[in-house]
Amino acid sequence: MPLGIDLLQVLLHAFNVLLLFGGMYFLLYSPVRKFMDKRAEYYADMDRQANEKLTEANGLKAEYETKLAGVQDEINENRKKAALEAENAKELRLRDAEKEAAEIIEEARQVASRQRAIEEYEAKKEISKILGEAADKMFLGENDNSIFDAFLDDAERSNENA
């Protein structure tokens, strides 16, 4: 053996190194690699699920925005309908109020006409009475101007009231 190297010892050391690396591979590297692969797969799965959920969320968001735009249009349409109904109700109430006002005015005219006819009747009745009294006094020979003055005063009052 030149240089004091024993070939058997070198082979045994090489065998020990291979045995050490083989044991380390099966005891440490293989489980750690499996753990790291599982972990990478877990995070890749989580990333895939997150992307799916994000895609789904974006789809829902677009759908909701579309629906929201439709709802906004529907709200505007309902507002227009409500405004139109309110305008129609306003016009209907206005027509009813005008009709009721015309009825009230007509009724007031009728009441005023009846009141005027009653007052004219009472005035004529009073004039007849006064004329009758005046005629009685004139025919009976009484010549009193106070009765004639009373007649004129009553006639003037009845003209003022009419």
pLDDT in tens, 111-154: 999 999 998 888 888 888 888 877 777 666 555 566 667 777 87
The most distant pair of C-alpha atoms in the chain lies apart, rounded to whole Å, by 196
Return the C-alpha torsion angle 81, 86, 92, 93, nearest 10.
Answer: 170
Of 50-54, 94-98, 104-108, 119-123, where does mean pLDDT reach its minimum? Answer: 119-123
Q: How many CA atoms lie within 13 A of 39 on its CB side?
A: 6
Q: What is the mean pLDDT of residues 43-52?
A: 95
Query: Has this prediction a pTM greater than 0.85?
Result: no
Per residue in 15-32, pLDDT (tens digit) is 999 999 988 888 888 888
Three-class SS state of 143: coil
Tokens representing 103 are 């009825």
Q: What share of the chain in percent tops pLDDT 70?
A: 91
Residue 154, C-beta contacts closer than 8 angstroms, at least 6 positions apart = 126, 127, 130
pLDDT value at residue 156: 80
Averaged pLDDT of the chain: 86
pLDDT value at residue 125: 86
